[in-house]
Structure 1
């Protein structure tokens, strides 16, 4: 799987009511280019590229009035088995597993706290082709009012085990899958919209969090949580011009 093991976040994509403006915003923020799907049924789905390599995707919102959102995908060997485990662990199957042309098989689920996430069983499309460099995915984090319940759920679904996360002066709970730290978990932070009861946050790496946050605001985005120092590095939480939430991270050395 091109280095992305089962149980590891492997992809993120954006559902937005204004795909043209999303292209403009992220192109100017991260230097991305785009490749449009040739499948008529894909409804204009695009793959964002960084130096020619896939980093994320975007497509139109499924329904009028749907909240713009970045979705986290976790790699799996068997999307249908993942769906069974989600139900057994007390979660919800939002969209049952289905084939995405010859690219892979995916399903959309919600954990007991209401945070939605997807799984990706790869075929022709393996997931992101680059991670942890400026302009690419670098971290995934569950923000939830019930961390203890989340620990139990994701251990049953993906076999994740709770550990102390990335090194730093403050203990940071994170999940390990095999030998790898794959995601973090944190309670809801101050300054975030009250309607966000639980959600998965995607983090894109940047060289300078302060400069990137300023640039996002200049491009029509919103700074929800200003840049600050955390165990993972210096990060900020932003909204794009359509309202989709995401974070940027200048990783700690």
Structure 2
């Protein structure tokens, strides 16, 4: 099995891709690159037994889409008068999956509708179209081989201290050492320096690990009554179980 992790940015210079090969009781990082184009991502998953995890929202909140559409056409929001307070805005700001993430890790993820993350999500929407055109199954609710992942959230659920790791290379070095101590079966090869130097590269590696949890089905899927919503808004795959559980079954796979 191969898992591909992508830390997507609005442009190629901030985008990183990691590939992990899982076999024979171990996992090996075989590729870690920055400056990734959409075509690179598509090519990475169109051959072999590949699963793709992208750190980017795959959709927008239903309420936000309805609000903008109604305002655009008639100048009147579908939900009635605009109140402007936080409670009124929240359904427009956060997807259903974002509420679940907050329940799991104790903090809100960035909002795809009100933060700069929305610019990246526009690129993500284009990437989904390119994947579909290449014959890759595209499903936003984690029902196929494509997952929306959250590297920082996965690390916290695995018990790591993520304080400042996105902005501090020293913190990334400490975190990588802690991860390798917990996972001696994970061979990072010659890519450790790049992962420490570039936060995007580090998150791509974690995205590839989190994608393994998705491939094994070790995550909580959307509740049946929310499945239709997740197919529109997207669903964040947060790992269930410890980091060590990612190697279960590797001998039989090899």
TM-score (norm 1): 0.26
The structure whose residues are more often helix, as a share, is 2
| Larger RCO (CA under 8 A, 6+ residues apart) | 2
- Larger Rg: 1 or 2? 2
TM-score, normalised relative to structure 2: 0.26
Higher strand share: 1
